[in-house]
Amino acid sequence: MGWFSTLFGARRGGAPEQDILELRIHGIKNTPPAEMLGVPPGEVRPDQADENGGFFVPTVDPVDPTDPAYPPSRIRREGYSWGLMARYGGGALVVVGQFFVQLAWLLILPFGLCNTAYWTRRIPRQTVAGEWRAGRGAASLRVFALCLTLLYVCALASVALDLIGSQCLAGTASCPSMPGWLNDFFALPDFDRRGIRLAMLSLVPVLGVVVLLVVSHTARTRYEAGIFGTVDKMRHAEERGGAAAADPNGRTPLATEGFWGMTRVRLPSELLHLAGSLFLVSILLGWDDVFAACSRGSSRIPAACWGGEPAPLARWWVSAAVLAAIVGLVVAIARVMADTDTVTRPSRTVSTAARRNLVRRRLRLRERWAGWTLLVSVAVYVVVFVAVAVPDPHLNYARIPFLGLVISPAIVTGVLLAIALSALGWRRLPEWPRSAARVREWFPAVACIALVVVAGLAVALAVLLTPDGSPPEPPSIIAYSVSLGALVLLALVIAFQPSRARRREVLRYEGWGGTGPGVVLLLSLGGAMLLSTLVVLGAQCWLSSPGAVPICPLSPGDAALITPGAYRNFGSTVPVLAVLLLLLVAVVAVARMRTTPQFTTPRTEGGRPLLAPLRSYRDGHVPLTTTSGKLTTRMLHARRFAGLFHRGEPILGALAGLLAVGCVVAVSFPDTWRPTALLDFALPALGLIAVSAIVTIAENAIATKERPIGVMWDLMCFLPRAGHPYGPPCYAERVIPELRGRIVAWLETDLLAGRIVDGRDTRSELERADDELAALGTPQRRKVILSAHSLGGVLAVSCLFTLGADTSGGLRNVGLLTYGTQLRAFFGRFFPELFGGEVLGVRRSAGPSLWSADPWLRQVNRDQADPPVERPGDGPEPTLRELLTQPDGEIAWINLWRRTDYLGFPDDSYDDNDIDRGADEFGPARYLVKVATHPGYPASAQYMTALRDLSRRL
């Protein structure tokens, strides 16, 4: 019972009892506890913490009463550190082990983006506690996740089966860098045949998938929310008849009981991904064994291969196994599509216990299905493995290229691209109508599906009609034209379909104009293709280079080793795409750095006034500054520089579009359409990317850092895993329950008199739940102020929704102080159902402009022209603003921001409002003159003013 011993011992010396808990939560900078608490390094101690994070308290008070960070005597300051929860390296492993673990983390980056894309979809309101309605696109996204795994299987198989097994070891190409022990092993009498070589090397892609599973699963076991009692709390809330048991109008997801404790990709998904990988390896290995001798490596199977003697089809057991693997892969895809909801929605008259039993039965059934599917995949793989490895006197083809990988990567990439393109319309297209009178609303969605199918089939037909190594003929050109036309029509339908004015107005406040799911999936696909290309082409260069410096022409006519065309095509586009993106960034930077705009600034309370303050834009135009003092000019330049970073959203959208073009080229373009020198020109760019990645990983391994991809990693790991089962763990599944427990334990201290006997809590579960509601919803002597920076503000808001899920009159004893946050500008737009304006109770925000002097010009003018919305929420549960509104009408929520912050924005409006305030744009006076940017808010005078105001309001 460490909570109670900590809370009851809250006095320090002879100081008055501290009845306000200031709980600080750091952001993506991973601020150390001492710095977060404003004390010298080493003057903190853990309090309910472990090696990954937790609560820390200072061992000394700030010694300077004039310091703005000095807390009043009645405030107890604590810090919550979560940074290491979002990172997982090799732990106690040596440097080499850490290197490979970090490399595995880099490879699952696309899996994390896939999970992020899940939450950018339109998430339905949840009607029954303990169950989950996934909404449109969930089934397609699960297929996308499975295809990501299969894409990695193709890449590893291309290296092991094609480059090493069929070219280097067979002697068809010179591989001077081939490890000697590998040559010696496969030169042994029993291993010098093509079949046994390929059979044994087929273990490489299988083991690669197992490694990704192990790395993800090992890290995930540290965070899964079940061990923190979240599921049990949800069950007791249902039993006492709380609001979470069943709400006919539905609830926003964050206000749903068990949101952070519900695993949406469970063991069945993990098993199905492994089974799908085994099925694909079996198809590749068996297909080559059946047709390689007859087709001589051609991607088109000659008619003679389907009959005659000696026919490859005479190996009927291999052919049957290949057919079984194809059927099994289709079944795995179908089962993945079905695994989208926790359970189908039963009647609301069904009791809570019956619903829980139904959920368990469905989950057990899915686990049984997945287990049998995995067992069948293992059996099929063993049959193919043995059949290929056993000598066959009728088949003697030692120097034939591997057949199965000629077109497989392009097929998998094509499926991924089709799903990503269709995802562009998941939010923009209307939902399926519920009445026959609105059947005409089906047309846009049906048209998009049809156009994606037509484009894919046309590309496949064009590839099949193009002879190997020959220019495309008129039928192929016609098929390519049909595919291009279908893609253009798809873009037009998605862009211009929302004809209703209200729908267009809604899309204005969503990420990338409502195309967020598709944009994130395209980024995921682009990342997976880039990593796969680096693996395949890097292995090709390494194997064919005689020295330490790789010198390897990649064009088919000059290369010693040949790789699948999809990787060569995509690799050839990488430098072109990089140059185009850099040109766009350079043009925007030059256009915006030529002048010095004067941005609007927020009002400040406490401390010195801001330099060059501007309350509004006259006539809606940004004024430019020509001459100013040296200090003012420096500050204006800092504001302008921060504004450049605010344009990241359209830049990411442009990157997603460029990656889509690269994937189209990878899937559809034959080698004859690409200049032969383009691949050789791409080699330095690819090498630079690979070397940069390896150096970064090695530096992390040597320094034992456990932050694989920095800021991006923290953002990806924030929301629960719901798309790819091998994705990184969600640290918030530990953070939110711990924050909630700390807050409740502090508030209910006065209610525990006589109920704690010898440090043991004697209350029943239902009594604990009732005390929790009383501590949150009725005035108490003790108060809590959540002080959250940057991404910590998102964690704090998520925690507040779990606190207010069952209260009827809001939170009477909890305040919120945020600073440097992105709640409205980014999170509210990328995840509208989680953090949108209707959920937070604030005005919505449009996206940044790429070219305006102020990237938020449109929103600034709109905020100053439109009055605040009195009741922005559309559901029965209160918004965040209403949860924090006190009986006297004041809001226990203050947000600090400044124009020099490259990641800080107002939470409600750029105009004067009762939530947002300004903070100093220069560092504390005891420092040299330094522009304040994203960190350092607690050191400003405005911070302590806001903290005292919140204490008064509570």
Tens-place pLDDT, residues 904-944 = 999 999 999 999 999 999 877 655 678 999 988 998 889 99
- Amino acid type, 715: L
On the question of pLDDT at 307 being above 80, the answer is no
Q: Which amino acid is at 510?
A: E
How many other C-beta atoms can be found within 10 angstroms of the C-beta atom of residue 67? Answer: 14
In this predicted structure, what is the pLDDT of residue 629? 82
Is the peptide bond between 310 and the residue preceding it cis, with omega within 30 degrees of 0?
yes
Q: Per-residue DSSP letters for 492-546?
A: HHHHH---SHHHHHHHTTSGGGGTHHHHHHHHHHHHHHHHHHHHHHHHHHHHH-S
Of 258, 269, 271, residue with least CA distance to 224: 258
Q: How far apart are CA 411 and CA 207, in angstroms?
A: 23
What pLDDT shows up at residue 884?
Answer: 93
Q: Say if CB 755 and CB 762 are below 8 A apart.
A: yes
| Confidence check: pLDDT of 244 > 60 | no
The CA-based angle 485-486-489, given to 5 degrees, is 85
Please return the burial class of 695, using the count of CB atoms within 10 Å of its CB with bins 0-12, 13-18 and 19+: exposed
**Full 3-state SS string of 396-447:** CCCCCCCCCCCCHHHHHHHHHHHHHHHHCCCCCCCCCCCCHHHHHHHHHHHH
Quick one: pLDDT band at residue 264, thresholds 50, 70, 90?
confident
Indicate whether 485 pLDDT > 50. Answer: yes
In whole numbers, what is the pLDDT of the chain averaged over residues? 80
Backbone φ, ψ for residue 819 (5° rounding): -160, 140
State residue 14's pLDDT score.
47
- The fraction of the chain above a pLDDT of 90, given in percent, is 32
SS3 57: strand
Over residues 503-510, mean pLDDT: 80
Give the pLDDT confidence of 97-120 residue by residue, as tens digits. Answer: 667 777 777 888 899 999 999 999
d(CA 637, CA 663): 39
Residue 322 has pLDDT above 60, yes or no: yes
pLDDT for residue 495 is more than 80: no
Q: What is the pLDDT of residue 314?
A: 47
Give the burial string for 340-353 (b: 16+ CB within 10 Å, else e).
Answer: bbbbeeeeeeeebe
Q: Is the pLDDT of residue 226 over 50?
A: no
Task: Say how far residue 626 (Cα) sits from the centre of its chain.
Answer: 43
- The residue-averaged pLDDT of 830-839 equals 92
CA dist., res. 164 & res. 170, Å (int): 8
Question: pLDDT at position 55, please?
Answer: 93
- Determine the pLDDT at residue 74: 79
Question: How would residue 831 be classed by pLDDT, with cut points 50, 70 and 90?
Answer: very high
Distance CA 695, CA 684 (A): 16
Q: What is the pLDDT of residue 498?
A: 55
* β pairing state of 20-25 and 75-81: parallel
User: What integer pLDDT is reported at residue 6 of this predicted model?
Assistant: 44
Q: How far is residue 915's CA from residue 892's CA, in Å, rounded to a whole number?
A: 9
The predicted pLDDT at position 824 comes to: 94
pLDDT category at 68 given cuts 50, 70, 90 is low
**Is pLDDT of 207 > 90?**
yes
Window from 136-140, 308-312, 757-761 with minimum mean pLDDT? 308-312
Given a cut of 60, whether residue 635 has pLDDT beyond it is yes
Strands 246-251 and 126-128: antiparallel
Q: Which parts of 548-629 fold into alpha helices (H)?
A: 565-593
Gyration radius from the chain CA atoms? 30
3-state secondary structure 59-119: CCCCCCCCCCCCCCCCEEEEEEECHHHHCCCCCCCCHHHHHHHHHHHHHCHHHHHHHHHHH
Cα–Cα distance measured from residue 362 to residue 369, given in angstroms and rounded to the nearest whole number: 11
- CA-closest candidate to residue 665, choices 683, 677, 679: 679
Q: Tell me the residue type at 285.
A: L
Contacts of 662 (CB under 8 A, 6+ apart): 526, 529, 570, 573, 574, 577
| Phi/psi at 778 (5° precision) | -120, 150
The more confidently predicted of residues 870 and 77 is 77
110-119, 305-314, 333-342, range with the lowest pLDDT: 305-314
Q: Is the pLDDT confidence value at 333 over 50? A: yes
Does residue 498 or residue 951 have the better pLDDT? 951
Gap between the Cα atoms of 894 and 850, Å rounded? 29
What's residue 385's pLDDT?
92
More confident residue, 876 or 80: 80
Residues 6+ apart with CB under 8 A from 614: 598, 599, 600, 601, 623
Q: What is the pLDDT of residue 906?
A: 96
Q: Which residues lie below 8 Å from residue 100, measured CB to CB, with a gap of 6+?
A: 90
Does residue 692 or residue 586 have the better pLDDT? 586
Instruction: List, as one string, the DSSP characters of 719-757.
Output: SPP-S-TTSPP-THHHHHHHHHHHHHHHHTGGGGTTTEE
Model confidence at 651, pLDDT cuts 50, 70, 90, reads very high
Q: How large a percentage of the chain has pLDDT more than 70? A: 75
Mean pLDDT to the nearest integer, 789-815: 88
Two tokens, residue 776: 């949150």
pLDDT at site 642: 95
pLDDT, average across residues 860-885 = 77
Q: Are 726 and 270 in contact (CB under 8 A)?
A: yes
pLDDT at 362: 75
Tell me the mean pLDDT in the region 552-566.
Answer: 71
